[in-house]
Amino acid sequence: MTGRRILALVGVLALVAAACAAPTTTEPTSATTAATPATTAATPATTGGAGDTEPAAADGVCAPGQTDGDLVLYNWTEYIDPELIDAFEAEYGVEVIEDFYPSNEEMFAKVSAGASGYDVVVPSDYMVSIMIDEGLLMPLQRDAIPNAANLDPKFVDVPYDPGNQYSMPYQWGTTGIAVNLDVVGEDFPETWGLIFDPALADQYAGQISMLDDPRESLGAALKYLGYSLNSTNEAELAEAAQLIADAKDRILLFDSDQFEDLLVAGETSIAHGWNGDFFAAFDAVSTDEFDAYEVYYYFVPEEGGVQWVDNMAILADAPHPCTAHTFINFILDAENGAALTNWNFYASPNAAATEYIDPEILEDPSIYPPPETLANLEFIADTGDFETKYSDYWEQAKS
């Protein structure tokens, strides 16, 4: 790859370094890790597991299924079925120590500071490209990941990591808006204007949330204005930032952790967020007497939005690279990939998993969008040196 862009990302690092100096406070999602404080993730696991008896080969080559210690996983909050963690631990005789982050930028700041002790991280598409350029990721040993053959061809040679040399896709989905139909009614325009247009949004002042994510939220404003969400035109970015600043009085909060829970709890009526998080929340509050899907509705606005891919990658200084490869291969197993989608309601990049995915998920256009919706979506791209401006304008818009 071309030279590192350390200077280009100094702004990103500075903005989130304070938040990243301490680990997240999100509770672990599996009983296995509940007794392990998140702070342990900053120190390589030294306690036992069967994997400790099978160190990596002297030449650094990992065999399929090989382990070399416990796994330290740095992931998005509530993004993996705890039963999959339990199954991996049972099959390979290792412990999985989990820590969590709310944004790509926070994860990047923490791991780029060095010696994080993490093995596997789950960056989104554009962040994979940044991390490759920064030398933060380890080239994958494809022979140790035979289940890569299960991937849908659309995810085999992705633009942010040609040839999947450093990453394997984990899940994919869209970013849009979910609403409480009891509040907004059945007949409303499916537009970002529900957040940005005073004529539509003022009536919902104090009931709106947006993601606390510079690329996602500025991207929403850019799409509403008719621009690419990857714009490198500073005038366009400034216009998008002003749009968010003008909307602040009606936005209750910027949040990437609990936006779906706040919606179903009645704290908000319009929420910007990721589709699978919403569906999981709707499913969680549904009962035999109450169908949340009749009250809450998710859509991609007519102006378009984000199609994202989250990916599994191994840090260049991962203390347990063989266990990390084995974990990635485990997730890419057909049935395990389906279990992941059936639990978190995000689309799977795993073609072999399709036969095991619940039919209602496969048939839901909010999870697997039709071609006409996909045509109006964009991946978030690495904009190079311009990334710093996204972070700067984001802080200005919120302040």
DSSP conformation letters of 326-361? HHHHHHTSHHHHHHHHHHH--B-SBGGGGGGS-HHH
Q: What CATH number should be reported for the domain holding residue 326?
A: 3.40.190.10
Q: Are residues 125 and 180 in the same domain?
A: no
Q: Is the pLDDT of residue 368 over 60?
A: yes
Q: Angle at CA 24, nearest 5°, toward 386 and 116?
A: 70
Asked if residue 388 is part of any domain, the answer here is no
Q: Are residues 177 and 165 in the same domain?
A: no
Q: Are residues 332 and 185 in the same domain?
A: no
Q: Are residues 110 and 225 in the same domain?
A: no
Integer distance in angstroms from the first to the last C-alpha of the chain?
36
Q: Are residues 156 and 167 in the same domain?
A: yes
* Chain segment 21-73, per-residue pLDDT in tens: 333 333 333 333 333 333 333 333 333 334 444 555 557 899 999 999 999 99
- Residues 319, 119: contact at Cβ < 8 Å? yes
Domain total in the chain:
2
Average pLDDT score over residue span 76-103: 95
Q: Are residues 143 and 183 in the same domain?
A: no
Q: Are residues 242 and 329 in the same domain?
A: no
Asked if residue 254 is part of any domain, the answer here is yes
Asked if residue 399 is part of any domain, the answer here is no
Asked if residue 385 is part of any domain, the answer here is no
* Chain segment 182-205, per-residue pLDDT in tens: 999 999 999 999 999 999 999 999
Q: Are residues 266 and 184 in the same domain?
A: yes
Q: Are residues 327 and 339 in the same domain?
A: yes
Helices within 21-138 (DSSP H only): 31-34, 82-92, 104-112, 125-133
Element (H, E) at 142: none
Q: Angle at CA 229, nearest 5°, toward 223 and 235?
A: 90
pLDDT of residue 380: 87
In 3D space, the residue among 109, 100, 40, 48 whose CA is nearest the CA of residue 75 turns out to be 100
Q: Are residues 233 and 193 in the same domain?
A: yes
* Chain segment 222-233, per-residue pLDDT in tens: 999 999 999 999
* Chain segment 253-272, per-residue pLDDT in tens: 999 989 999 999 999 999 99
pLDDT of residue 276: 85
Domain with 316, as residue range(s), is: 7-172+309-369
90: three-class secondary structure by DSSP = helix
Average pLDDT score over residue span 286-291: 95
In 3D space, the residue among 30, 57, 58, 33 whose CA is nearest the CA of residue 45 turns out to be 33
Average pLDDT score over residue span 299-304: 96
Asked if residue 125 is part of any domain, the answer here is yes
Q: Are residues 337 and 273 in the same domain?
A: no
Torsion angle (degrees, nearest 10) of CA 52, 56, 57, 62:
130
Asked if residue 389 is part of any domain, the answer here is no
pLDDT of residue 381: 84
- In the chain, the percentage of residues whose pLDDT exceeds 70 is 85
CB atoms within 10 A of CB 170: 28
